[in-house]
Amino acid sequence: VKIKMNRKKLIVINNGINTNYFIPDLSLSTKSNHSFKLNDRPFKIGMAARFDGHKDHKSLLEAIKLLKDNKYKVDCYLVGQGVDEKNEELKNLINLLGINSNIYLMGSVDDIRKFYQSIDLHILSSFSEASPLVIIESMSCGIPNISTRVGDAPFMISETGWIVPIAKPKILYQTIIQSINEIIFMHDIWIKRKINCRERVKKSYEI
């Protein structure tokens, strides 16, 4: 049975978030995001995702390995259900890659907003997604994103961040370097990018 609908009567209502809650923390930003110097502290990467094969933590960790091998100072904070010290599979992969000192397994957190506010860059390395709220939550906090080309992620991020192919850790690594170079050498552009992240969410994803 075919069901016909009049396209003129259809409208897409995006998921929305409370942009009065997901806000930049200027005190944290002043200390970390706005005054970043490579010699002073590591570049802080985060990913908010439960431990699930579809989230492809492996590709992100392999990108972190490449960064470490090429002498980039990077710390990676992973939050989400099952992403903790009890996860032997994840810990074994981290040990195998030799990046123990670069990875922090935080598990489920009580205040995801504080997590977003404390990182420089949010990454989503998933194989598949629908409409990932973690992207617009972090963007609303003024945090740029790198995501794989999945679900609504390219439209959500648009020109405010970067889109990479699925399961290509080398390309992810190269894209992270782009963001590091921007924050160091093109700081005005980086600040504008952070502002644009929040403005895009307020325009298109305000609940």
Q: What is the pLDDT of residues 133-189, one digit of tens each?
A: 999 999 999 999 999 999 999 999 999 999 999 999 999 999 999 999 999 999 999
Q: Are 50 and 124 in contact (CB under 8 A)?
A: no
Query: Tell me, what's the pLDDT at 36?
Result: 47
Closest listed residue to residue 134, CA positions, set 46, 14, 27, 13: 46
Query: Tell me, what's the pLDDT at 39?
Result: 56
The stretch 32-55 carries a mean pLDDT of 79
Query: Tell me, what's the pLDDT at 1?
Result: 75
Cα distance between residue 156 and residue 133, in whole Å: 9
Single pTM value for the model: 0.92
Q: Are 142 and 197 in contact (CB under 8 A)?
A: yes
pLDDT over threshold 50, residue 103: yes
Q: What is the DSSP code (8-state) at residue 50?
A: -
pLDDT class for 32, splitting at 50, 70, 90?
Answer: very low
